[in-house]
């Protein structure tokens, strides 16, 4: 009888692998409902959640040096305080260094606007003529409708001093909350995460969650540390190139290029646009404007196509359209803080998906180049002959 059953199984061609269980529709609807409620909570309570998100980001990026000092015998609280103080000192020194050049450019903004209008006058006149030609019919049809419209009185603008004072106070409270919460997270370290995971999950799930958190912490920290060194070199190269080409305030553009390059694709494009505008305002000849933009484009190409793949690799690369959508949605959802948190959140999500058993579709969604390899691997597995029972 066993032989007959084996023959029937072999003849029918059925595989002995367990069938994949599909998720019930009710659970999918419940999951979508929970995600929608969580998104609404994060949006309407963003005043409370934005400092928490920024503190988690800083704790994630600074946890590697804190753990390195702790392994050398320094207490974790002292390590956290030292690393956070160094980080805040670097941020404050950079802001102080760039304060005067930025103020000079803001003070010269009206003159800069007039210069841009003068140099782009022919293009603006052509666009104005096209706009007048396309809107002439609309003006003719709207003339009768607007003839009897009442004239609305314009109310006096309220005093904005109270609003400015309230916004400044809220910003100071948020900054203090970020610093204190980041310090507590760095000083607590993995032991607190282990106790929290053990309290809310079984041993197997808690150990897996700790492995994922440790992978996210180490890989994201290593990724951004390497990227910071690369961007430091990019900023230095941009500073030297702008200084050689005679650009005003070359230090400002070097630091700006290094900081914006943390945003993939969009950061380098924004820097190129800013340098093109500054060169257009500063120089009269088109040749020097092309020299500035071409030089930065060459530097950014070397950084993006040679240095990043060499030192960072392709594993944590993200799709350009996903990066753009994340920045747009993050800016709409949480403003500037959402833009800051968008890319680190995507990188952490990708690392967590790579260490998850069912995270291959999410990894494929975040990186289409890798999705092709995953699909080819799946096709190779399907092409293999089924293993029959012995």
Q: What's the alpha-carbon Rg for the chain, to the nearest Å?
A: 28
3-class secondary-structure state, position 19: coil
Relative orientation angle of helices 161-188 and 76-107, to the nearest 10 degrees: 150
Give CA 226 to chain center in angstroms: 16
Separation of alpha carbons 17 and 94, rounded Å: 59
Question: Domain residues for 69?
Answer: 47-122+172-188
If DSSP codes are grouped into helix, strand and coil, which group holds residue 316? coil
368 domain-assigned: yes
pLDDT at 306: 87
Q: Which of 156, 188, 220 represents a domain boundary (last residue)?
A: 188
Tally of domains in the chain: 2
| Contact in structure between 216 and 60 (CB atoms under 8 Å) | yes
Where would I find the beta strands (DSSP E) of the chain? none
Whether 105 is in a domain gets the answer yes
Average pLDDT over residues 343-352: 86
Asked whether residue 328 is assigned to any structural domain, the reply reads yes
Q: Considering all CA atoms of the chain, what is the largest pairwise distance in Å, rounded to the nearest integer?
A: 96
> Going by C-beta distance under 8 Å and a sequence separation of 6 or more, which residues neighbour residue 355?
211, 212, 215, 216
Q: Is 313 left (phi over 0), alpha (psi -120 to 50) or beta?
A: left
Q: Give the relative orientation of helices 286-302 and 203-244 as an angle to the nearest 10 degrees.
A: 150
3-state secondary structure of 154: coil
Q: How many helices (H) and strands (E) does the chain have?
A: 17, 0
In a domain, 365, yes or no: yes
Sign of the CA dihedral with 50 first, then 51, 52, and 54 last: positive
Establish if 212 belongs to a structural domain: no
> What mean pLDDT is predicted for residues 200-225?
74
Does residue 61 lie within any of the structural domains? yes
DSSP per position, 175-201: HHHHHHHHHHHHHH-HHHHHHHHHHHS
- To 10 degrees, what angle do helices 161-188 and 46-71 make? 30
DSSP string, 194-223: HHHHHHHS-HHHHHHHHHHHHHHHHHHHHH
HSE at residue 366, side-chain half, CA atoms within 13 A, is: 22
Average pLDDT over residues 40-67: 88
**Among candidate residues 188, 220, 235, the one where a domain is terminated:** 188
pLDDT in tens, 113-158: 666 666 666 655 666 666 666 666 555 555 554 545 554 444 444 5
d(CA 52, CA 55): 5
Whether 179 is covered by a domain: the verdict is: yes
Across 56-65, 186-195, 367-376, which has the greatest mean pLDDT?
56-65
Question: What separation in angstroms does the CA of 226 have from each of 9, 29, 61, 92, 353?
Answer: 55, 41, 12, 22, 22
Instruction: Write down which residue in 131, 163, 188 finishes a domain.
Output: 188
Contact of 213 with 355, CB cutoff 8 Å:
no
Higher pLDDT, 5 or 108: 108
Asked whether the whole model's pTM tops 0.75, one would answer no
Residue identified by tokens 């060499």 is 310
Lowest model confidence (mean pLDDT) among 15-19, 175-179, 353-357: 15-19
Determine how many CB atoms are found less than 10 A away from the CB of residue 263.
19
Q: What is the pLDDT of residues 292-335, one digit of tens each?
A: 999 999 999 999 888 888 887 666 778 888 888 888 888 888 88
Q: Which of 1-5, 103-107, 210-214 has the highest mean pLDDT?
A: 210-214
* 178 belongs to a structural domain: yes
């Amino acid at each position: 009888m066993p032989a007959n059953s084996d023959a029937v199984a072999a003849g029918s061609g059925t595989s002995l692998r367990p069938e994949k269980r599909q998720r019930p529709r009710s659970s999918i609807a419940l999951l979508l409902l929970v995600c929608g409620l969580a998104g609404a909570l994060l949006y309407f309570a963003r005043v409370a959640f934005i400092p928490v998100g920024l503190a988690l980001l800083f704790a994630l990026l600074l946890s590697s040096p804190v753990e390195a000092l702790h392994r050398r015998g320094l207490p974790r609280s002292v390590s956290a305080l030292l690393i956070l103080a160094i980080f805040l000192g670097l941020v404050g020194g950079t802001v102080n260094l760039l304060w005067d050049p930025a103020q000079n450019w803001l003070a010269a903004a009206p003159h800069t606007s007039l210069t841009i209008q003068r140099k782009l006058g022919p293009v603006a006149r052509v666009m104005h003529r096209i706009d007048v030609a396309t809107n002439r019919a609309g003006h003719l049809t709207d003339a009768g409708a607007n003839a009897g419209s009442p004239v609305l009185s314009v109310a006096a603008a309220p005093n904005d001093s109270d609003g400015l004072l309230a916004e400044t106070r809220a910003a100071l409270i948020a900054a203090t909350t970020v610093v204190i919460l980041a310090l507590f997270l760095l000083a607590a370290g993995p032991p607190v995460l282990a106790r929290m995971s053990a309290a809310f999950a079984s041993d197997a799930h808690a150990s897996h969650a700790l492995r994922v958190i440790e992978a996210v912490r180490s890989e994201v920290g290593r990724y951004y540390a390497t990227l910071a060194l690369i961007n430091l070199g990019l900023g230095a190269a941009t500073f030297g190139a702008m200084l050689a080409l005679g650009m005003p305030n070359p230090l400002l553009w070097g630091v700006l290029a290094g900081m914006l390059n943390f945003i993939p694709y969009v950061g380098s494009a924004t820097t190129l646009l800013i340098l093109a505008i500054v060169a257009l305002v500063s120089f009269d000849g088109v040749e020097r404007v092309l020299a500035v933009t071409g030089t930065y484009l060459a530097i950014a190409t070397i950084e993006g196509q040679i240095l990043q793949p060499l030192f960072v690799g392709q594993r944590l690369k993200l799709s350009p359209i996903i990066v753009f959508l994340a920045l747009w949605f993050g800016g709409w959802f949480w403003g500037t803080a959402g833009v800051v948190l968008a890319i680190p959140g995507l990188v952490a999500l990708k690392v967590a998906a790579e260490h998850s058993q069912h995270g291959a579709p999410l990894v494929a969604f975040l990186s289409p180049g890798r999705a092709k390899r995953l699909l080819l691997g799946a096709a190779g597995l399907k092409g293999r002959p089924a293993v029959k029972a012995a």
